[in-house]
Amino acid sequence: MAVLLIAEHNNSTLKVYTLNAITAASEIDKEVHVLVAGNKCENVVKEVAAVSLVKKVLHSESSDYENFLAENLSPLIVKLAERYTHIISSANTFGKNFMPRVAALLDTSQISDIIKIESSDTFVRPIYAGNALVTVKSNDKKKCITIRPTSFDPAPSSGESASEKLKKGTLVEKVEPVAVPNISKFIKREETKSERPELGTARIVIAGGRGLQSKENFKLINDIADKLNAAVGASRAAVDAGYISNDHQVGQTGKVVVPDLYIAVGISGAIQHLAGMKESKVIVAINKDGEAPIFSIADYSLEADLFKALPEFLEELNKLNTIQK
């Protein structure tokens, strides 16, 4: 048997988290097959074929798959599942969308957000907002698994161009689309466009909390983000107060980030926030309360008023920029 990984893409390019999921899949079984389902997504097929850990690409073309509706993708995945022991995707909005439906249709229990693979049936996943890790053994014949992408390195490309690899016989199998149930319809997509790096994959994240006090004050965070080429994150309190949109939320009910540097400003450090950032390599916290829980996990703690500290920080960054120029 082999493992089936569902590729996340936008019909023209592969989303980076698929590469992390490929690494995880290859730790379960070396026979990794990747499903690329979409509309006019040949380029994605080539990208996936170029990844050395991928043994086969299953390519299914249909306008029904263009917007990745869970209701449309699930029948295809369920049909293909006959040939596989594990169905895998990343534990982000893409995987969280269709995997529960696939698991229900296969009458199996989904194993979500795994961070480590002990063996082909035993996995480690965080519970209680990341405060405990549980090791789960699944006896289900088919295992539907979502992977926390930041816990696995992205799979390297084989170094050969996809067309060379294809010539050498990396198999691309055409898969006929499966009839869709027509129970949902795609209306429109609204995406936030940003010049800044994507929050989930940025090397540097600067995040603001309720301490910022207003939407306007988030400019202090944005200015530093621009200088550092960082993504902007936020606590749920900042999002709920309307200082910033919810696609910036970090934490248990937001995004999980593991940047090289995470700067938390005016964030107290509630466990639900820590669940989304505590694996960051270096954590800097700026808070005026010396007892704030965020300081207990920070590598560098600055007990200061953010309205004084951030302008000073920006000034230093500007000086550095001038020297570099």
Ligand X SMILES: Cc1cc2nc3c(=O)[nH]c(=O)nc-3n(C[C@H](O)[C@H](O)[C@H](O)COP(=O)(O)OP(=O)(O)OC[C@H]3O[C@@H](n4cnc5c(N)ncnc54)[C@H](O)[C@@H]3O)c2cc1C
Residues near ligand X, by CB under 6 A: 209-211, 235-238, 249-254, 266-268, 270, 272-273, 276, 286-289, 292, 305-307
Going by C-alpha positions, the residue among 275, 280, 276 that lies closest to residue 259 is 280
Tell me the chain's radius of gyration from C-alpha atoms: 22
| Cβ-based nearer residue to ligand X, 120 or 272 | 272
Minimum Å gap between C-beta 70 and ligand X is 23
55/51 Cα distance (integer angstroms):
9
Q: Would you say 292 and 269 are in contact if contact means Cβ atoms under 8 Å apart?
A: yes
Minimum Å gap between C-beta 50 and ligand X is 35
Going by C-alpha positions, the residue among 204, 190, 175, 191 that lies closest to residue 36 is 175
Separation of CA 42 from chain center: 23
| Cβ-based nearer residue to ligand X, 85 or 252 | 252
| Cβ-based nearer residue to ligand X, 38 or 266 | 266
Considering only the C-alpha atoms of the chain, give the largest distance between any 2 of them, rounded to a whole number of Å.
62
Minimum Å gap between C-beta 219 and ligand X is 15
| Cβ-based nearer residue to ligand X, 254 or 259 | 254
189/129 Cα distance (integer angstroms):
30
Going by C-alpha positions, the residue among 68, 92, 103 that lies closest to residue 151 is 92
**Which tokens in the block code for residue 212?**
């910022």
73/179 Cα distance (integer angstroms):
10
| Cβ-based nearer residue to ligand X, 59 or 236 | 236
Minimum Å gap between C-beta 250 and ligand X is 6
User: Residue 215 corresponds to which amino acid?
Assistant: K
Going by C-alpha positions, the residue among 52, 57, 60, 56 that lies closest to residue 78 is 60
Residue 213 backbone phi and psi in degrees, to 5 = 75, -20
Helices (H), the chain: 17-28, 42-49, 70-80, 93-105, 162-167, 218-228, 236-240, 271-274, 306-324
3-state secondary structure of 213: coil
Minimum Å gap between C-beta 303 and ligand X is 9
Minimum Å gap between C-beta 222 and ligand X is 17
3-state secondary structure of 71: helix
Minimum Å gap between C-beta 262 and ligand X is 13
Minimum Å gap between C-beta 300 and ligand X is 15
| Cβ-based nearer residue to ligand X, 110 or 268 | 268
**Which tokens in the block code for residue 164?**
């060379």
| Cβ-based nearer residue to ligand X, 67 or 249 | 249
Minimum Å gap between C-beta 324 and ligand X is 29
